[in-house]
Amino acid sequence: MAVKEMYAVTPQWNNPALKEELEPTEIEFRNVGKCFPAKGKADAPFAIREVNFKIRRGEVVSIIGPSGCGKSTILNMGSGLYRPSEGEVFVGGEPVTGPVPQVAFMLQKDLLMPWRSIRRNVELGLEIQGVPAATRQKVALDLLDRCHLNGYADHYPFQLSGGMRQRAALARTLAIDPQVLFLDEPFSALDAQTKMILQQDMARMLFDEKKTALFITHDLIEGIAMSDRLLVMSARPGTIIEEISIDLPFRDNPLERRKLPEIGPLVGRLMELLQVGADTELH
């Protein structure tokens, strides 16, 4: 049975019409294109073209697509680091014309500062905002507790495992209390089990605090387990070729969602769209 047929009846827990009524649009890309002019070349090829999508407040949406199709470019435009060459980007209903304060980024590399303790790494964004030391410390310790790093506040990054460092990076990302999170493959450097545990923590926090997240992943099951919706992109110049609603329970519990029988057909559909194995002979 085709995936589209399987989900023809939209269940009550994830009725997009209901959500549309309740939640405003948080992120919108309207006909967005981006080209990067190369030195000495008159015409710059487009990296992405005619990218259109809307994300409502509290939704988690994953972008899946082949390497180089422009996923990070989309995140960089959403956070105001890059300007579109054509079209418009909106966050929180406002056009993005520079760095957006209510947005935070989390990357594959934790980028913790080696000379700062874990607590002082988490406090960094608040320090830049001029938040008093006592408040910063309270926020940081509370977040470290929620990220299961209780007792590691005075350690330095080199004393932590990869998974713990990424937990610290998550605490730092959440410290400024952003409404929107741009997550660029935050778990891809971790081993499979640590990755699943961190996905679980992240999913719970995003759900409990109704954060809006745009998430890049190459891991198809991770995208399905963590998201309300998937945006599937074509190869360069990247554009969105399909939107898939993940009408499954447990958006706050990816460990449970992974076990659902619907995951297999959804992975199959994504593999078809991404043409995984199409030009490879299997022996």
Regarding 195 and contact with ligand ATP (CB under 6 A), the answer is no
We find the least distance from the C-beta atom of residue 186 to ligand ATP, in angstroms, to be: 13
We find the least distance from the C-beta atom of residue 45 to ligand ATP, in angstroms, to be: 8
Stretch that binds ligand ATP, among 64-72, 140-148, 157-165, 191-199 (CB under 6 A): 64-72
Indicate which single residue of 36, 132, 210, 277 sits in contact with ligand ATP (rule: CB under 6 A): 36
We find the least distance from the C-beta atom of residue 240 to ligand ATP, in angstroms, to be: 13
As a whole number of angstroms, the distance between CA 241 and CA 267 comes to 16
As a whole number of angstroms, the distance between CA 197 and CA 101 comes to 29
Regarding 67 and contact with ligand ATP (CB under 6 A), the answer is yes
Regarding 83 and contact with ligand ATP (CB under 6 A), the answer is no
Q: How many residues bind ligand ATP (CB under 6 A)?
A: 11
Of 172, 237, 215, 170, nearest in space to 197 by CA: 170
The residue among 125 and 223 lying less far from ligand ATP, judged by its C-beta, is: 223
Of 44, 43, 48, 45, nearest in space to 33 by CA: 48
Q: What angle do CA 260, 191, 264 make, to 5 degrees?
A: 20
Indicate which single residue of 49, 56, 71, 257 sits in contact with ligand ATP (rule: CB under 6 A): 71
Cross-strand bridge partners of residue 232: 64, 242
As a whole number of angstroms, the distance between CA 52 and CA 239 comes to 8
Stretch that binds ligand ATP, among 71-79, 123-131, 189-197, 255-263 (CB under 6 A): 71-79
Q: How far is CA 282 from CA 65, 258, 277, 278, 279, in A?
A: 22, 27, 8, 10, 10
237: preceding bond cis by omega (within 30 degrees): yes
The residue among 62 and 73 lying less far from ligand ATP, judged by its C-beta, is: 73
Regarding 64 and contact with ligand ATP (CB under 6 A), the answer is no
Q: Can you give the binding site for ligand ATP, defined by CB under 6 A?
A: 36, 47, 65, 67-73, 236
